[in-house]
Chains A and B, each alone.
Chain A
Amino acid sequence: MRQPPLSPQMTIALPVLGAASILLAWQYLLPLLGVPAYIVPTPTAIFGVFQKSFSLLIDNLRPTLIEALAGFVIGNLAAVLLAVLFVHSRVLQAAYFPIVLFFNTIPILALSPIIILIFGLGMTPKIVIAAVICFFPTLVNMIRGLDSASDNEHELFRVLSATRSEIFWSLRLPRALPMLFSSLRIASATAVIGAIVGEWIGSDKGLGALIIQATFNYQSDRLYAAIVLSSSLSIALFCIVVLIERRVIRY
């Protein structure tokens, strides 16, 4: 039998209660079960790091934020432009899309040392890794989106004697936007992953570097604080994408 729907108050209250119950169990139950603090520090201990070492956290958040954002913009922009090129030239698409797909099968973790070899130790390799990780889902989605207009829609534009660029701006692009935004939402999380993975190898700044250092120094509370901050960064990027999406796509 289907359950009746929840009231609006409950749909807000229940997730809050759910999270609170987990945090309480984490705070009080885990130590009782004998889980040592160097493996799982309590929520209050992690919160304490935010008070104690706020400037350290912010100093390490800044480079990761810049790398993730820059990678997000560059990777997605490159993907969109290449998708536009591919849908306008079937020859180019047939020649190069399989190669692009092949590159996509290389795990980013295997690729990142090479990227660091090429671009050195600055911010650039991290931006490149974040960009590469955003690039493929957006490219594939954007190509599908730009091709998603129906035969009737194309015929309609042809009857109206629309030019290629009019068809692009008035039909293909608006048709592609929902699919573009669904890949941008995915990219908002993966861009942060890319930046952090980049910082694991050869970096002393950023949340990724902080995670590695804290792990080696058994500073579990600091490690968990860095994780919380990383996921907050992803959530913030995700929310920005969703806000823009709601403004752009009204239908």
Chain B
Amino acid sequence: MHNAIEARQLDVGYGGRQMAVKVLAGLDLTVAAGSFLSILGPSGCGKSTLLRVVADLLDPLGGTISVLGETPHAVRSRRDVGFVFQDSTLLPWRTVRDNVRLPLGVGQGSLTRKIEDRSAELLELMGLGGLSERLPRQLSGGQRQRVAIARALLGEPKLLLMDEPFGALDEITRDRLNDELLSLWRRTGTTVLFVTHSIAEAAYLGERVIVLAANPGRILKDLDMRPFKQEGNRCKREDPAIVAAMADLRVALEHAS
């Protein structure tokens, strides 16, 4: 089985090869298939940029990257990638159900994998069953992110990329969605790359946490969380081992910014 991601000496930047401002420089990263990786770092360290390279939204300037053993383009064309943005990016003119079904309406061309309509099941799963005819403006922030996650999962992606998806939510809602996300991950076996600003969230969710430093972005710390957790990436937020790991991550993050 291929690794979900293998990046070697990856350079990413803006402004073309000559004038490039490097956002990521010489990044080496291997992510095992089916794992949950948290990516932590200060603003401008290239966390989101890394996700965009994996999703084939941005071409690297140098180095190599393979996703599920193929090019990012091949994987994106087959629609094996789901993306969740910080602002839910729901289309305001579509109902909840029709937002979740967006992947059925676009990109179903011959080159890509056909997607089945599992919207009813996903809406139930995400606790949105009674809200399917609502418009996005009638939802709370947490409900909107649930819809965005359901939409990303509709195509049963092998790789789920999440760019600070719960960054704008209150703490109670965020904690609840963290637990829902973990149970979805256990059920589907999809690989998750989860970008966040929050040390607690990164430690609670990730089987592994990497801390990126800024200017240019590089990996400053790579912490395996599995020794601190039980079977199936389970842990208690207030567990002393987790709290100690968080302190460790905090020190790294202070060096990163």
> Does A pair with B?
yes
Contact (A159, B81) CB under 8 Å given A166-B106, A166-B107, A251-B135: yes
Given contacts A161-B109, A162-B106, A170-B106, contact A251 B137 (CB under 8 A): yes
How far apart sit A162 and B91, CA to CA, in the bound complex (Å)? Answer: 15
> CA of A161 to CA of B136 in the docked complex: distance in angstroms?
23
Contacts of A150 in B (CB 8 A): 87, 89
B55 with A170: CB separation less than 8 A: no
Asked if B109 contacts A160 (CB within 8 A), the reply is: no
Contact between B135 and A250, CB atoms less than 8 A apart? yes
Contacts of A171 in B (CB 8 A): 91
Pair A160/B93 contact, Cβ less than 8 Å = no
Asked whether A163 lies within 8 Å of B109 as measured between CB atoms, the reply is yes
Verify B57–A170 contact, CB threshold 8 A: no
Partner of B107 from the list A152, A163, A177, A251 (CB cut-off 8 Å) is A163
Among A160, A167, A251, the residue within 8 A (CB) of B103 is A160
| Nearest chain A residue, comparing its CB with the CB of B154 | A160
- How many of chain B's residues have a CB under 8 angstroms from any CB in A? 27
Contact call B112/A161, Cβ cutoff below 8 A: yes
Q: Which residues of chain B come closer than 8 Å to A157, judged between CB atoms?
A: 106-107
Q: Is B53 an interface residue (CB 8 A)?
A: no
Identify which of residues 68-115 in chain B touch chain A, using a CB-to-CB cut-off of 8 Å: 76-77, 79, 81-83, 85, 87, 89, 91-93, 102-103, 105-107, 109, 111-112
A204 contacts the other chain (CB 8 A): no
- Report B82 CB to chain A, min CB distance, Å: 8
* Interface residues in B41-60 (C-beta closer than 8 Å to A): 52, 55-57
| Contact yes or no, A159 B105, CB < 8 A | no
Please determine whether B89 and A251 come into contact, CB atoms closer than 8 angstroms: no
- Indicate if the CB atoms of A170 and B105 lie closer than 8 Å: yes
Contact across chains for A251 and B93 when beta carbons are under 8 A apart: yes
Q: Count A-B contacts at CB 8 Å.
A: 65
Encode A162-191 as 1/0 by CB contact (under 8 A) with B: 110011001100100100000000000000
The answer to whether A156 has its CB under 8 Å from any CB of chain B is yes
CA of A16 to CA of B83, assembled, Å? 54
Starting from the known contacts A155-B57, A161-B112, A249-B93, 10 additional A-B residue pairs (CB-CB under 8 Å) come to A155-B52, A157-B106, A157-B107, A158-B76, A161-B106, A161-B111, A162-B106, A162-B107, A163-B107, A251-B136
The CA-CA distance from A222 to B166 in the complex, in Å, is: 67
Contact between chains at B83 and A159 (CB < 8 Å): yes
Beta-carbon contact of A161 and B93 below 8 Å: no
Interface centre among A160, A162, A177, A250 (most CB of B within 10 A): A160
A163–B56 CA distance with the chains assembled, in angstroms: 15
- Residues of chain B touching chain A, judged by Cβ–Cβ distance below 8 Å, are 52, 55-57, 76-77, 79, 81-83, 85, 87, 89, 91-93, 102-103, 105-107, 109, 111-112, 135-137
Q: Across the interface, which residues of A come within 8 angstroms of B137, CB to CB?
A: 251
Task: Tell me what chain A mostly uses at the interface: helix, strand, loop, or mixed.
Answer: helix
Is chain B's binding surface mostly helix, strand, loop or mixed?
loop
Contact of B89 among A156, A161, A162, A177 (CB under 8 A): A156
Interchain CA distance A152-B87 in the complex, whole Å: 8
Contacts of B91 in A (CB 8 A): 153, 170-171, 174
A155-B57, A250-B93, A251-B92 are contacts. A161–B107 as well, Cβ < 8 Å? Answer: yes
State the Cβ distance, A92 to closest chain B Cβ, in Å.
Answer: 25
With contacts A150-B89, A174-B91, A174-B93 taken as known, whether A156 is within 8 angstroms of B83 at the C-beta atoms is yes
Complex CA gap A152/B92 in Å reads 14
B56 proximity list for chain A (CB < 8 A): 158-159
Give the 4 A-B CB pairs with smallest separation, nearest first: A161-B107, A162-B106, A166-B106, A160-B107
Most chain B CB neighbours (cut-off 10 Å) among A156, A170, A171: A156
Give the residue name and chain of the B residue nearest to A166 (CB): B106
CB proximity of A53 to chain B, nearest CB, Å:
48
Contact check, B55 vs A159: say whether CB atoms are below 8 A apart.
yes
A159 CB → nearest B CB, Å: 5
List the B side residues contacting A167 at CB < 8 Å: 106
A-B contact pairs, 21 of them (CB 8 A): A152-B87, A155-B57, A155-B83, A155-B85, A156-B85, A158-B57, A159-B81, A161-B79, A161-B106, A161-B107, A161-B109, A163-B109, A167-B106, A170-B105, A174-B93, A249-B93, A250-B93, A251-B93, A251-B135, A251-B136, A251-B137
Instruction: For the complex, give the distance between the alpha carbons of A159 and B81 in Å.
Output: 7
Q: Are B106 and A160 in contact (CB under 8 A)?
A: yes
Among A159, A162, A166, the one with the most B-chain Cβ atoms within 10 Å of its Cβ is A159
Q: Is the CB of A160 within 8 A of B57?
A: no
Taking each of A150, A161, A170, which has the highest tally of chain B beta carbons within 10 Å of its own beta carbon?
A161
**Would you call A153 and B93 a contact (CB within 8 A)?**
no
> Who on chain B is nearest to A153 by CB?
B89
